[in-house]
Structure 1
Amino acid sequence: QGYQGLVDGGDHIKEATWESVSMMLQLGGTVIGSARCKAFTTRAGRLRAARNLVEHGITNLCVIGGDGSLTGADTFRAEWGGLVAELLKTGAITAEEAQRSSHLNIVGMVGSIDNDFCGTDMTIGTDSALHRIMEIVDAITTTAQSHQRTFVLEVMGRHCGYVLVAPGGGCHPKNWGKWLKRWFWPRFRYLALITALACGADWVFIPESPPEDNWEEHLCRRLAE
């Protein structure tokens, strides 16, 4: 359960075996659990997490997540020496355990569908998000055509249009060349362009570039053509 499992300890920390991880490959990453943990934002919570790691002899920690998870990992890294020293001073761990866990190796892996992390080509989860979006678009396309209706599809992505630009600012396909060159190349990365092209969206609203005034009239004209 993410940091929550780290703080709670006990049965939440288990050793991975061939049997426990078999048949996981085709499942989503959240199969290992994910949870927001207010306790980990406090030093007391991180102290409990440190104690659980020391007791299990864990000196390598891999953190998969977005801004909050990686920020927490960086704070944990910076405080690790002090946390171990405090545990030793209070008698929570032995001198041998403190020596064995004097250093904690942390690897941060960016897991975010937003794909808004500098220095990465594609964050973990972005490709899966695109795949799911395309499944939804394919599913509603038949209904849209048979009923001759327009559908508005909202997707997650926070303040990054990397995924948001996929399904749905404002450009007709025949003008994509000029529009994409103007807006996408300097501002977005690979997935935004690929998603917009892949689903054949007629109109896209993206947070980084709000639509121009009178976009409603422009959209209606395009739909009438």
Structure 2
Amino acid sequence: MPNERFIERGSHKGKGLAVFTSGGDSQGMNAAVRACVRMAIYLGCKAYFIREGYQGMVDGGDNIVEANWASVSSIIHRGGTVIGSARCAEFRERAGRRKAAYNLIQKGISNLVVIGGDGSLTGANCFRNEWSGLLDELLESKKITPEQRKKFDVLHIVGMVGSIDNDFCGTDMTIGTDSALHRIIEAIDAIVSTAYSHQRTFIMEVMGRHCGYLPVVTGIISEADYVFCPESPPPFDWPERLCNKLIQASENQDFFILHAI
């Protein structure tokens, strides 16, 4: 039986695809960027980086650059994101999103891959919903031609969740979670030795936002005696509750994980 490919090489030749990272950085973003660019090249697309997230999309110009196979070489092991990430107040306004739409059309881009958290993906969904109206406004102001309006009628978006908190449904583990957990355990392994040597109580504060994955799993793996997670909004007595636990812990030389939200 002949070897059949799920997607044929060059099957999307001539299309423009851009990838960008937005919001807080997380380890694994560079691996995701690399995979997107190389898959786009395999499909025959023109691949682009958008530097500095939505800010680069709004500013345009040199912030939207074509990428090739070598552009993503030797980045898979690096933390953070090599194409930069920034929050953009201008993109929250329709005028800013209209600028972003214009810049994408000038580069021939109608396919986006956004790698980011809740705010980044929410912004991408808003952009997609408004796309048709934004193009109508650009056509009315004669910034784009009727041919461009027809060619780029639909904006296709793929969201990849870059968040250390593992706080997104529909995916087993978000980009950056495993690395964050690994770093936390490394830090605890180093601190525990000092805690035992001096018979002291130690508190480790970890991230997690409104999801308790990191503190709970960290608490289990590190054999913490308590995992303290302030509710959101926290009750008025949570500082007192924490102090009482600390007093008990000091007597027992216990170990704490404090969940930061």
Say which structure, 1 or 2, has more relative contact order (CA 8 Å, 6+ apart).
2
Change (3 A) 1:141 1:217: closer
- The residue aligned with 2:178 is 127
TM-score w.r.t. length of structure 2: 0.69
Change (3 A) 1:217 1:145: closer
> Which stretch has the larger CA shift, 104-113 or 136-145?
136-145
**Which position in structure 2 is the counterpart of 1:50?**
101
Would you say the 8 A contact 2:201–2:250 is kept in 1? no
Per-residue CA deviation, residues 144-196 of structure 1 (Å, 9 max, x unaligned), is 33333332211222232211x2xxxxxxxxxxxxxxxxxxxxxxxxxx33x22
Output the aligned Cα RMSD. Answer: 2.2
Code of the residue aligned with 1:220 in structure 2: it is S
Q: Which runs of 5+ in 1 are unaligned?
A: 166-191
Amino acid in the other structure paired with 1:202: D
Identity of matched residues, % = 63
Point out the more displaced range, 117-126 or 208-217. 208-217
CA-CA distance at 1:200 after TM superposition: 2.3
SS at match of 2:159: strand
Structure 1 partner of 2:252: 222
Structure 2: gaps (5+ residues)? 1-51, 255-261
Match of 1:188 in 2: none
CA offsets 1:61-92 (integer angstroms, 9 cap, x no match): 01111111111011101100011111111111
Q: What CA distance in whole angstroms lies between the structure 2 residues aligned with 1:222 and 1:147?
A: 13
SS state at 1:36 partner: coil
Letter of the 2:129 partner, please give it.
Answer: A
Matched, 1:204 2:234: no
Distance (whole Å) between structure 1 residues aligned to residue 192 and residue 83 of structure 2: 34
Residue 127 (structure 2) aligned to one of 71, 76, 94: 76
Question: Which structure features the higher share of helix residues?
Answer: 1
The residue number in structure 2 matching 1:170 is none
Which residue type is aligned with residue 75 of structure 2? M
Aligned residues: 196
Does the CA-based 8 Å contact 1:47-1:83 persist in structure 2?
Answer: yes
Aligned match of 1:148 = 199
